[in-house]
Amino acid sequence: MTTMCNKYGWSVISGEDKKGWISWESIGQKIKDKKYDIKWKRCSDMKIGWTGLVRFEPGQELPLHIHKPPEIYYILKGNPIIKLGLDAVRTKVLDCITIPSNCPHGVINDTDQEVLLMYTYQEIGGNKSLPGPDYQWQFLEDIQ
């Protein structure tokens, strides 16, 4: 379900809706192992901010990577391991993880339960974080 208000521009996007979920392969990237076949969904109007949801089935992971905008994860379901630099932290529901700009990070779901996390990219110096060259995404592990 997506609900929009034309007068003020607010919206409600349901994370339960089966539509709108993206994978690496759906954006043209090949992956060498199904453990990287995570799904994510943008849940905000990109003119306002950049936030969304990521689902990890048991055994799936988001490889170590970096990007320019700082990011925040909120754990909504499950107990994933979050890799931050050289550290690995077991997290739980309602944990908030703050990831500074260009900090290597990744997510591992080594449990037998689904993991659901919310991500939010933060502005840098008043500039909105948006997909594109300024985002400077880089994998630090080989997934292709």
Which residue is it, tokens 């994998």?
Answer: 139
If you count them, how many residues does the chain have?
144
Task: Return the number of other C-beta atoms located less than 10 Å from residue 138's C-beta.
Answer: 12
The CATH class, in words, for 21-139 is mainly beta
Task: Return the number of other C-beta atoms located less than 10 Å from residue 59's C-beta.
Answer: 13
Give the domain ranges of the chain.
21-139
Cα 118 from chain centre:
7
For residue range 80-117, what is the model confidence (pLDDT) as tens digits? 999 999 999 999 999 999 999 999 999 999 999 999 99
**More confident: 19 or 48:** 19
pTM for the whole structure: 0.87
Which residue is it, tokens 């076949």?
Answer: 37
For residue range 58-86, what is the model confidence (pLDDT) as tens digits? 999 999 999 999 999 999 999 999 999 99
Which residue is it, tokens 């929009």?
Answer: 4
CA separation for the pair 66, 70 (Å, rounded): 10
In the structure encoding, which two tokens stand for residue 118, read together?
């919310």
pLDDT surpassing 80 at residue 36? yes
Averaged pLDDT for residues 22-44:
90
